[in-house]
Amino acid sequence: MPAINVKLLKGRTIEQKREFARVVTQEASRILKCAPEAIDIIFEDVEKHDWAVGGALASDK
């Protein structure tokens, strides 16, 4: 069973996550040749102060 972990900066709506899960599941199922029911997607919301890019916290931008 494929498991897809998605880390996002906190703030995405449930509707955005729902659409993302639907589209990614559909494409992963097609490419990996497995049933959509076999695919798990786990969202992890991360606070901006817990994410750094290029040495700077996202909360500092």
pLDDT digits (tens, 9 = 90+) for 5-41: 999 999 999 999 999 999 999 999 999 999 999 999 9
Catalytic positions are 2
Question: What pLDDT sits at residue 34?
Answer: 97
Q: Is this structure's pTM higher than 0.85?
A: yes
CA separation for the pair 22, 50 (Å, rounded)? 27
Whole-angstrom Cα distance, residue 57 to residue 34? 38
Give residue 55's domain range. Answer: 3-60
What's the CATH number where 38 sits?
Answer: 3.30.429.10
Q: What is the count of structural domains for the chain?
A: 1
